[in-house]
Structure 1
Amino acid sequence: MPASTREAVRVAVLADSDTRWKWGALTARRITTATAEPTGFVLRGRATPTARQLAETGVSRTAPREVTGAEFLRAIRDAEARGEGYDVLVLALVGGTVRAVLQGLADLALDRRPVIVTGYVGVVYEKLTDGLLLRHGADVVLANSRHDAERFRAVYEGVGAGAASVVEAALPFLGGAPHTPEAGRDTLVFAAQPSVPATRAERAYVLRRLIGHARLHPDREVLLKLRSKPGEHTTHLEEFPFQKLVRELDPPANFRLVYGHMGEVLDRTDLLVTVSSTAALEALHRRIPTAILTDLGVREALGNHHFVGSGLLTSFDRLDKGDAPTPDETWLARQGVASDSPYEAAFDAARDRVAALLAQPALPPISPYYTAETAPGYLPGILARHRLDVTAPEPRESGLRRVVREAARGAYRHGVQRVAPVIRRLGEL
């Protein structure tokens, strides 16, 4: 039955980190007419967010259910068997996981599969081609700006794949009140990233310069906005947390670490500084003065090359002198921030595409670009890394088994985040 004949659209979101859960849940609301909250699932893995991280996103009153890939597919299959199948499925995942889930959904052979939507949680500055081709096969591949939409279509058309799935939209979490200076308030916020910059020396450099800036400007509040607390996980591994590096220094009273919802932090921000965080786009949308650092170079590995032409590139030396960059309006418009069109209108095309697909009597088969024919030496490895055998019997888990499993997960995460980096560093000596 086409979803257009039902009273309500049923939506599910599968995410693999706190930031992707935020993107997925907000995207689901902006591109559908669903009135109920989307049913949420988060994949169990090294980046599984904690309850605190999920709550901090502020996107849902109901915590998403933690599942394996196979458990998620069973949930989709069982929902359809009960006559409660999902109409729209938002995959807020890395590219390889998207491709694996596409395969799993195709193998389910549902009578009526959901409309599949995917995209990127922020600035796309690496693995553009591979990431896009792994996502090919979804009904809708969202681009967060006109710039991204043009790049996405060029990749798909360049390999002979259909580009009709690419739909221009915007980042779903932009918003908030425009920046309004307040008398007596002068707050600089540095938006940290877990893996940019990556090395200990570069992260220590950024921290020293921030603390030095705070000392040069004692009347300015300098906040280091962190994504996660020690031991928590996010989209990327953080080998050298700023929380640990700062212990080796003696910051002044006007410098401190902060956590919390980025939108709330931006409410009191007068200058946003970062290397390449998506927080820059949130700040620019609200017309908050924003600076992209060049101190460590303008490099693809840092992601700040994305901001070439923005007018925002600057250095700590210039910031210490009181300079503030002026954004290029043409660049802003192409990036989908601070544009002349109303923000909500940015999702009109995506809503129309989803509605048109829901109205069809039947959806076409899932047809990804990467298949056993086009990528026989690559695809099997992608699929093998994900456990998506829904035919295997689901284990009945006792309370003791659950405790043991959680302990094992904790040990695994500790090994990935703490032990493995130490071993790698020792190997470099």
Structure 2
Amino acid sequence: MPASATKSLRVAVLADSDTRWKWGALTAQRLAPAGAGIRLDGYLLRGRATPTARQLQEVGVHADSLREVTGVEFLRAMTEESYDILVLALVGGGVQAMLHGLRHAWGTEKRPVVVTGYVGVVYEKLADGLLLRHGADLVLANSAHDADRFRAVYEGVGAEASAVTEVALPFLGGAPYEGEHDPSAEQGRRPYTVVFAAQPSVPDNRKDRAYLLDRLIGHARRHPEREVLLKLRSKPGEHTTHIEELPYQKLVQGQDPPANFRLVYGHMGEVLDRTDLLVTVSSTAALEALHRRVPTAVLTDLGVRELLGNHHFTGSGCLASWDQLDAGHRPVADEEWVARQGVAADGSYVTAFDAARARITELLDRPGPLPPLTPYYTPETAPGYLPGILARHHLGPDGAPLPGAPAADKAPGAVRQIVRRAARGAYRHGVQRVAPVIRRMGEL
């Protein structure tokens, strides 16, 4: 039996938002070889989207330790601590910066297996995002469809493609949908429930977001016997993976929605437990719902466009408009499309991470240290692009920390914590209040 399957593994996850922390931590848990326990240490990259305590609690993933760090602080920690697996759950530029920083920090010393990937549907910046992730030992693809696309991109630029490994989204699960609830049943009585899964940046303008809200409230008025829920990702002032300039909580003010309409937060899986119809523009929640065979509608009201991400669902059988849903239409997903997208509604989810576990076991059991990380982008292949990415994380072209890079020697004191919170709040105010006003003025 491989040694990696018998010992407890030390795993680190570096994440830059609540959704990426959820993906990274759950991925780490699923990647541990059979029979191996894990100690999970979480590192939250300090920035505009650093999750709040409420967001972390909502994610519901336990870590043995969890702390906020700068990029340089994290790199230092990786030379002081010994890990078996490191999951980089970051935006593409962050992954690339950490790969170069880690290559410099580790040199030829023993290092962990480095894993990265995507939180959900990859519908934009395919080549850009993938090449920024190149250099990790495993680049996880959430479906067979994605795995084929990822390999084609790497091979097309002459980059090594063997790191691409097919898995599935790590947060799929929950009881399969058993059909519409019978309201006449004596126990567990509840109304037919429609859930709209909101997205922070899709659509990205007031007109379209107000339209979707009006249609959702209109659906509640047309169907007073139904419960209509607006599922929100974050509360005002919080950020998630994407910036939300126009939160629905703000747009709903001044409206007079019916009693069967309400806003909800919380774990998406718990909301899906009582959902009879999931509606969205292009949220990853659609894949969670399809995994459980919950009827799912991907809206076409604003067009089927790459900008919205709903083009990813062409061929799924899920595309529908609010007019159709108001009239009682319930989309039926195409089984072949669902299987190709890694939704694993056929029960194959239990084996979805087997290939990744086998690859990690092989690397962990390899004699001697792993070879240095070798990203595709180098000062030679991308001299006009890479230095800027590294500089944003206070790293030089060789991955070494720049002089004056922020790297505290001890835990931040109360004054520094207050200053950080104030600065973060000022940034969010600028994004959510000032920037939209400036843009509207520019359109006059």
Query: TM-score category by the smaller chain?
Result: over 0.9
Q: Which whole-Å CA distance do the structure 1 matches of 2:164 and 2:97 have between them?
A: 20
Q: Which whole-Å CA distance do the structure 1 matches of 2:416 and 2:90 have between them?
A: 28
Q: Percent identity?
A: 72
Match of residue 14 from structure 1: 14
User: After superposition, what is the alpha-carbon deviation per residue over 1:7-53, rounded to whole angstroms, capped at 9, x for unaligned?
Assistant: 32110000000000000000001011352341001111011110000
Q: Is the 8 A contact 1:73 1:390 kept in 2?
A: no
User: After superposition, what is the alpha-carbon deviation per residue over 1:393-413, rounded to whole angstroms, capped at 9, x for unaligned?
Assistant: 635654333322332232233
User: By how many angstroms is 1:288 displaced?
Assistant: 0.3
Q: Is the 8 A contact 1:54 1:63 kept in 2?
A: no
- In the alignment, which of 290, 297, 305 is matched to residue 296 of structure 2? 290
Match of residue 140 from structure 2: 142
User: By how many angstroms is 1:424 displaced?
Assistant: 2.4
2:159 aligned with 1:161, yes or no? yes
User: By how many angstroms is 1:61 displaced?
Assistant: 5.5
Q: Is the 8 A contact 2:280 2:299 kept in 1?
A: yes
- In the alignment, which of 92, 96, 104 is matched to residue 95 of structure 1? 92
- In the alignment, which of 54, 57, 69 is matched to residue 55 of structure 1? 57
SS of residue paired to 1:38: strand
Match of residue 24 from structure 1: 24
User: By how many angstroms is 1:5 displaced?
Assistant: 9.2
- Length-normalised TM-score, structure 2: 0.92
Q: Is the 8 A contact 1:8 1:35 kept in 2?
A: yes
- In the alignment, which of 354, 371, 377 is matched to residue 378 of structure 2? 371
Match of residue 182 from structure 2: 183
User: By how many angstroms is 1:63 displaced?
Assistant: 6.4
- In the alignment, which of 37, 41, 44 is matched to residue 42 of structure 1? 44
Q: Which whole-Å CA distance do the structure 2 matches of 1:271 and 1:53 have between them?
A: 25
Match of residue 171 from structure 2: 173
SS of residue paired to 2:210: helix
Higher mean C-alpha displacement, 417-426 vs 147-156 = 417-426
Q: Is the 8 A contact 1:175 1:286 kept in 2?
A: yes
Q: Is the 8 A contact 2:5 2:361 kept in 1?
A: no
SS of residue paired to 1:64: strand
Q: Which whole-Å CA distance do the structure 2 matches of 1:66 and 1:3 have between them?
A: 32
- In the alignment, which of 382, 386, 389 is matched to residue 382 of structure 1? 389
Higher mean C-alpha displacement, 56-65 vs 217-226 = 56-65
- Shift >4 Å, 4+ stretches: 390-393, 395-398
Q: Which whole-Å CA distance do the structure 1 matches of 2:3 and 2:95 have between them?
A: 23
Query: What amino acid does structure 2 have at the position aligned with 1:345?
Result: T
Runs of 5+ consecutive residues of structure 1 not aligned to the other structure: 80-84
SS of residue paired to 1:188: strand
Q: Name the count of aligned residue pairs.
A: 423
Q: Which whole-Å CA distance do the structure 2 matches of 1:290 and 1:31 have between them?
A: 29
User: By how many angstroms is 1:178 displaced?
Assistant: 0.4
CA RMSD across the alignment: 1.7
Q: Which whole-Å CA distance do the structure 2 matches of 1:198 and 1:321 have between them?
A: 27
Q: Which whole-Å CA distance do the structure 2 matches of 1:221 and 1:384 have between them?
A: 50
SS of residue paired to 1:23: helix
- In the alignment, which of 199, 202, 207 is matched to residue 201 of structure 1? 207
Q: Which whole-Å CA distance do the structure 2 matches of 1:413 and 1:256 have between them?
A: 25
Correspondences of 1:323-402 after superposition (within 5 Å): 323-361=329-367, 362-388=369-395, 389=401, 394=408, 397-402=412-417
User: By how many angstroms is 1:78 displaced?
Assistant: 1.2
Correspondences of 1:135-284 after superposition (within 5 Å): 135-180=133-178, 181-184=180-183, 185-284=191-290
User: By how many angstroms is 1:249 displaced?
Assistant: 1.5
2:430 aligned with 1:419, yes or no? no
User: After superposition, what is the alpha-carbon deviation per residue over 1:337-364, rounded to whole angstroms, capped at 9, x for unaligned?
Assistant: 1443531200000000111111112211
SS of residue paired to 1:306: helix
Q: Is the 8 A contact 1:3 1:87 kept in 2?
A: no
Q: Which whole-Å CA distance do the structure 1 matches of 2:51 and 2:441 have between them?
A: 29
